[in-house]
A and B are shown apart, each in its own frame.
Chain A
Amino acid sequence: MSGVQLKNIRKSFGALEIIKGIDLEIAPGEFTVFVGPSGCGKSTLLRMIAGLEDVTSGALTIGGRDVTDREPSERGIAMVFQSYALYPHMTVAENIGFGLSLARRPKAEIDAKVNAAADALQLTHLLDRKPKALSGGQRQRVAIGRAIVRNPQVFLFDEPLSNLDASLRAQMRLEIADLHARLKTTMIYVTHDQVEAMTMADKIVVLNGGKIEQVGSPMALYDRPATPFVAGFIGSPRMNLYQGAFAERAGCRTYGIRPEHITLSETDGRWPGTVRHIERLGADALVYLDVEEAGPMVARSEGHAPVAIGQRLWASPIAGHEHRFEI
């Protein structure tokens, strides 16, 4: 097991800087998720760790070894691609064993390792098939199998679930978490989906505009977002965020309150407003308010909450759950 260290990693394309100096320490065995909106540089960062992109400046170590200038195959990493990148002309067995055969390992050893990986991933009966004949979930498992036989120090996942439908995604999320529990290898996982980040990560790295916004455990980011960006990105439904006069009255530049931390009352409270729209989700209902002094505000209430459109309500923050940012 080895950790990964990034020291002031930068990446530019011509004059344009995409990664603007990243310092990050990933502990051995940790499941780290890079999350951020599209274009934040998370995939580029992962590809730099993989060695698929050159590092413009900075240093990268894996397991204490400086690998900044190493070829991808010399870094002790394995990667699962968003498209799976299975070789279409090879069978499942050949796909999984390709790296070993390139390294000219003896055939018996290749077979043994391929079979072991196939066994662990329930792929044994598919070993002679071509990728075209597999379902999405099976392809995903072959891609993971190909990564496992490399026996890597670090697993890299580049949005591996985004091509799957919702129910399969939930299942694969579980399988990957399970894999991590069994192998206890360091894993770095890129996603734009904050639900994947929250449910799988030991540590979340929120990236924005080529810089780290915040690093921490999922609940730490939820409870104590360091910036309005993190506050808005982590948590669903999104946190209500306000600037201007309303925030100034609250004593800060940006004021935030999550929908689940607002109580509604028909008689009194902090902010009077009118109900504009209600979304009943079953257990919960999302109440969209026009608050007089703030503007639109979303509050979470219980599913059968007796509110109606046009009704006048008072919203109040739950003490200790208000967020004040000086940016």
Chain B
Amino acid sequence: MPRLHKDKMRTDIMARIAQTISRSDSKATAETPDITERTAAGGETTRRRRPSPYPHWFLLPAAIIYTVLFLVPTATSFWYSMTRWDLKTATFIGFENFHQFFSEPFLVQGLVNTLIYAALTSAMKTVCGLGLAVLLTSDIVARGLLRAIVFFPVLVSTIGVGIAFTVMMHPTRGVFNVALASVGVAGPGWLTDPALALFSVALVDLWKGVGLATLIFIAGLSAISPDYYEAARIDGATRLQQFRRITLPLVRPATVTVVTLSLIGGLRSFDLIWAMTRGGPGFASDVIASVIYKQYQAGFYGLSTAGNVILFLLISVIILPLTVWFQRREVEQ
């Protein structure tokens, strides 16, 4: 008898494996591999292939627009970045543009600033976003209104925000420094001090962008079952322990999203910096994206495109390993 049962179990398991692969008995057929293509490619059968009900031509209109206006320029940028170019004729000059990028001090500063700006805004948005999200998921009055208030700046024109804050950061008459003066503090030159300008812009970026981070964290926190907190309380965990041992690990997917999104956004950042400082004073708040625009305006199209390629590579070098690392940690946990 046991042997029979074992045999039956084995066939059951085999069947279940087969089913998992075929997914045809279950309703989760979404991932079914494309059989028609496999068999046709394998040449096992001379059968006429029936057309798929999900034709590839559905992709075509979008693919044409996307390929012509995004993929082709991205691909050709690698070539143009190695040329001297006036939009008509491109002369190959090797890595000279890149060499310039890494040797001219004002271009190097743009590179360094980009990294500082991205790291800083990403870190601030993650920390503040999580803090706000914890506050805005706790049981307080006017929670909905507060969420709306924190989120609204995300939807407002970056240029408008930039101009408004530039005015408020005016060194003598600006709201910030007038307020500081009223308590006896001499306010700094927020945007006029070369040592401070980039950080002032980053602060405004935080003000405008923290709402999105908060929103993502709120979604992540809401997905954590209250059972864990109840169990932890029964185990005697303090609020701080609950935060560190339950909230932080379980909100990880949201953290990954916020860090990744804000890093990408920070590395590509242009609008706000351009509206507030134009990269100044001097080159103090220049980033790669503003250098790209300046070089384009100055007619150095090859150099401008080299900036683009550098930004492309920079994002790849930072985001890809980060994603892999995040995923590996995910698996380990």
Contact = CB atoms under 8 A, between A and B. Distances in A.
Complex contact flag A–B (Cβ < 8 Å): yes
Between B2, B4, B35, B36, the greatest number of chain A beta carbons within 10 A of the residue's beta carbon is seen for: B4
A38 B1 contact: no
B21 A13 contact: yes
Interface in A51-98: 51, 53-57, 68-69, 71, 82-83
A18 B39 CA distance: 14
A38 B27 CA distance: 12
Contacts of B327: none
A47 B32 CA distance: 14
Contacts of A295: 1-2
Contacts of A18: 18, 22, 24
Interface string B117-145: 00000000000000000000000000000
Contact of B19 (A39, A56, A244, A296): A39
Contact of A44 (B1, B22, B33): B22
Given A12-B39, A54-B36, A40 B15 contact: yes
A256 B282 CA distance: 93
Contacts of B12: 37, 39
Contact of A82 (B18, B27, B36): B27
A242 B27 contact: no
Contacts of B2: 295
B24 A254 contact: no
Given A14-B33, A55-B47, A56-B39, A39 B18 contact: yes
A115 interface: no
A37 B12 CA distance: 8
Nearest to A190: B25
Between B1, B8, B16, B50, the greatest number of chain A beta carbons within 10 A of the residue's beta carbon is seen for: B1
A83 B27 contact: yes
A56 B45 contact: yes
Interface footprint category on B: 20 to 34
A232 B8 contact: yes
B44 A16 contact: no
A243 interface: yes
Nearest to B51: A71
A22 interface: no
A295 B39 CA distance: 49
* SS class, residues of chain B in contact with chain A: helix
Contacts of B33: 13-14
B11 A44 contact: no
Contacts of A56: 35, 39, 44-45
Interface in B166-201: none
Interface string B21-58: 11011010000110110110000110111100000000
A14 B38 contact: yes
A272 interface: no
B88 interface: no
Contacts, number: 88
A9 to B, nearest CB: 12
Contacts of B27: 82-83
Interface string A290-317: 0000111000000000000000000000
B4 A241 contact: yes
Interface residues of A, number: 40
Nearest to B36: A54
B14 interface: yes
A13 B4 CA distance: 29
A209 B21 CA distance: 14
B14 A68 contact: no
A210 B38 contact: no
B3 interface: yes
Interface string A223-251: 00000110010000000011110100000
Given A54-B39, A57-B45, A242 B50 contact: no
Nearest to A81: B27
Nearest to B27: A83
Given A12-B39, A14-B33, A56-B44, A39 B1 contact: no
A208 B4 contact: no
Nearest to A53: B24
A158 B22 CA distance: 17
Given A44-B22, A44-B24, A82-B27, A13 B1 contact: no
A229 B27 CA distance: 26
Contacts of A246: 1
A43 interface: yes
Contacts of A150: none
A139 interface: no
B4 A242 contact: yes
Contacts of B50: 51, 54, 69, 71
B55 to A, nearest CB: 13
A42 interface: yes
Given A12-B39, A54-B36, A296-B1, A208 B11 contact: yes
A221 B313 CA distance: 69
Given A54-B36, A56-B39, A295-B1, A13 B22 contact: yes
Nearest to B39: A56
Interface of B: 1-4, 8, 11-12, 14-16, 18-19, 21-22, 24-25, 27, 32-33, 35-36, 38-39, 44-45, 47-50
Given A54-B36, A54-B39, 14 more contacts: A13-B32, A14-B21, A16-B21, A38-B25, A39-B18, A39-B19, A42-B25, A43-B24, A56-B44, A57-B45, A68-B47, A209-B11, A242-B4, A295-B1
Interface of A: 12-14, 16, 18, 37-44, 47, 51, 53-57, 68-69, 71, 82-83, 208-210, 228-229, 232, 241-244, 246, 254, 294-296
5 contacts: A39-B15, A51-B50, A54-B39, A209-B18, A242-B4
